[in-house]
Structure 1
């Protein structure tokens, strides 16, 4: 049986794509982006249907994004196959100081040819830490650690620290690190629009036009779907 979200806001009529209330739908602003990177998102089961989940923004905007549901006792076979695929060069996005590092595997992974693939753990910090600790197949992967210049702008949930970015913000930083600054800017714009529109919709207000919305519309006119 599939999971059903029964939390706060479960009865709201939402857009099937962006999952925001219909009056706050942001689909008209969604940018179609190109990237040389793949994003693999391993999601905690409690995150899949939360309307505040930001990982879906990555899948909506970028071309090669794959989602996997984390299970403690049964790793996703498709994800394991991708991790072993010589056509990809996977790296786990996780704090280096908390990772189990195998120098031999780290060095081999860093030198491995193939398409850059970032593996993100999608959930609260406590959930992500549990996912990592209970998943030996993640241990020893090359690790990418982020040191953001600015605090998180998420605001839809409480966080233990302003330095803890949500999943969409992590993707923005990774795109910047790969030199894909235009893609990073537009994904960040879409993320900002999502956060603002979510709050306005939750408070039964019609969102006003933000500068980020106008920039996204200009981008969409230049780069149509």
Structure 2
């Protein structure tokens, strides 16, 4: 599984952006694409056409469940983590929740993707941003869960150590 961070332009200058941690830890298994409403990234559009790409996005944030009888939402937890293997790439919108909703609503190519949500009991320890959704995790926490569900424990541990250090340094 590879991660594509679809990053809002404003995130590039935010000290509270955790997507950079993901890029640092995952190396070539993660890449960043800057979101552009008018000119979507051609490489991203090509990947979506040619491979199995899912969008990590909370179930409660979308109403669409099925199109043509096909499931439009996959909820991943410890009991069905093998379902992640169906995706070669997962797109994660790297932005505030308000910006992520706008990106989703303004990007037709994202709305056509199978939504992947995470079922977890983990409470976010991210306190650097206001207006978080209930149960919402930051980018690094989401990827940490995905890595653990994919049994990539070495990467999971490395990312979570970086995340904890980042969070404690920025929350003071």
Equivalent pair of 1:101/1:139 in contact (CA under 8 Å): no
If the length of structure 1 is used for normalisation, what is the TM-score? 0.63
2:95 to 123, 130, 135: 123
Give CA-to-partner distance per residue, 1:107-165, whole Å, 9 cap, x none: 69x99x98621100011111000100100011121111012212101122224345111
If the length of structure 2 is used for normalisation, what is the TM-score? 0.81
Describe the shift of the 1:157–1:183 C-alpha distance in structure 2 as closer, same or farther (beyond 3 A): same
Q: Which structure 1 segments of 5+ residues have no match?
A: 1-36, 201-225
Distance 2:99 2:112 in 1: 20
Correspondences of 1:69-218 after superposition (within 5 Å): 69-86=34-51, 89-99=52-62, 100-104=64-68, 106=70, 116-199=88-171
Q: Which structure 2 segments of 5+ residues have no match?
A: 75-82
RMSD: 2.5
Distance 1:188 1:105 in 2: 38
Count residues in correspondence: 160
Describe the shift of the 1:98–1:159 C-alpha distance in structure 2 as closer, same or farther (beyond 3 A): closer
Distance 1:58 1:106 in 2: 31
Distance 1:116 1:52 in 2: 28
Describe the shift of the 1:107–1:98 C-alpha distance in structure 2 as closer, same or farther (beyond 3 A): same
The alpha-carbon deviation at position 103 of structure 1 amounts to 3.2
Pick which of 177-186 and 115-124 moved more: 177-186
